[in-house]
Amino acid sequence: MTVLLPDSLDRACAQLADHPEAHVLAGGTDLMVEVNFGHRRPEAVLSLARVPELKGWGRDGDTLVLGAGVTYTELCDPAIAELAPALAQAARTVGSPQIRNAGTIGGNLGTGSPAGDTLPVLAALDATVELVSVTGRRTLPLAEYCIGPKRTARDATEIIASVSVPVARGPQEYLKVGPRNAMVISVAGLAAVADIEGRRVAVGLGSVGPVPLRAPEAEAWVVDRIDWSAGRLVDPADATEFGSLVAAAARPIDDHRATADYRRHCVSVLARRALTRMFAA
C-alpha cells in the first residue's frame, strides 16, 4: 500500500491530484473500521496527520471556523463549546474518550453518514463546508454537500479544509436516542438552535432521513409561540405540538436499529424536550 504523508495542505492537494484513488485518512475511526472488516482495501492512503492547516480553529467576526482536523475532544473544550454549544453537546455523545481523541469533524463530514452526530447540528446552523484541491477552493452549504446516505458532493481530489458556523446567538441543544448512553450509533438525533435577536429557531435531524433534515414548518410555527424578550415559551404546552410538527418533517426508514414509527416518536420527544430546555419558564 502506498502511504502519502504530506506536510502541508498544498502538498496534500497535489498528492491527491496525482493519486485520485488514494483514501484520505484523518483519525481513522471510520476508515480503519472498514479496512479491518475487509470492506475496503485501499491501494493508497493519504494521511492528514502532518497537515497543520487542518488542525486549528478560530473566530472570524460572528463566524466560527473549524479546521477539518478538529477532534471531538477539542469540540468539547469550553472555548469552542461557548461559541457552538450544540456542537460540543453532539461531540460529547460520540463514541468513547479514545474515539473522541482521534475522530474529527472533517471525518464525520467525509463519511457523510445520516447518523453522524455533528451533521444535524451543522444543518441547523446552516454550516458551510470548504473544499480544497489543486484547482482551487469552493464553499458549499451543508444542504448541497450531503447528497445521500454516505454520499457527498466532495470530488475524489478534494480535501475538506474547514467547516464554518455562526457563533451562538441563543440557547442550543443536541439530543440523541440510542439503545444505551455511550458508544452508540444514534437511532435519532436532533439539534435545535435559537437566534434570540433574529427571533428564529432552527432544527436539524439525524438518522431519520437519507441526509440531515430541517423542519421548516415547525421552525416557522414556533416563532410566535416564544416570548422572545423573556426567553420562554408563551405556553409551555406548545412544546408538544412543536414535537409533532418536527416529527412530521422526519423521513425515517425501518432498519435493524429501529422502526420508522419509533424514530418518528423519538424525534417528537427530542424536539419537545429541546424546546422546553431552551425556553424554560
- The site for ligand FAD (CB under 6 A) is made up of 23-31, 33, 48, 54, 68, 93-95, 99, 102-104, 106-108, 110-111, 116-117, 159-160, 183
Q: What is the DSSP letter of 167?
A: P
Q: How far is the CB of 108 from ligand FAD (least distance, A)?
A: 3
CA dihedral 243, 246, 252, 254 (to 10 degrees): 10
Task: Using the minimum distance from each CB to ligand FAD, give the nearer residue, 36 or 62.
Answer: 36
- Per the CB < 8 A criterion, the answer to whether 39 and 31 are in contact is no
Task: Using the minimum distance from each CB to ligand FAD, give the nearer residue, 85 or 103.
Answer: 103
Q: What is the DSSP letter of 130?
A: E
In sequence order, what E strands does the chain have? 2-4, 23-25, 44-47, 57-60, 63-67, 128-133, 136-141, 146-148, 151-152, 159-166, 172-177, 188-195, 200-206, 213-214, 226-227, 232-233
Q: How far is the CB of 230 from ligand FAD (least distance, A)?
A: 35
Q: How far is the CB of 254 from ligand FAD (least distance, A)?
A: 21
Task: Using the minimum distance from each CB to ligand FAD, give the nearer residue, 6 or 103.
Answer: 103
3-state SS assignment for residue 175: strand
Q: How far is the CB of 28 from ligand FAD (least distance, A)?
A: 5
Task: Using the minimum distance from each CB to ligand FAD, give the nearer residue, 81 or 196.
Answer: 81
Q: How far is the CB of 81 from ligand FAD (least distance, A)?
A: 17
Task: Using the minimum distance from each CB to ligand FAD, give the nearer residue, 5 or 196.
Answer: 5
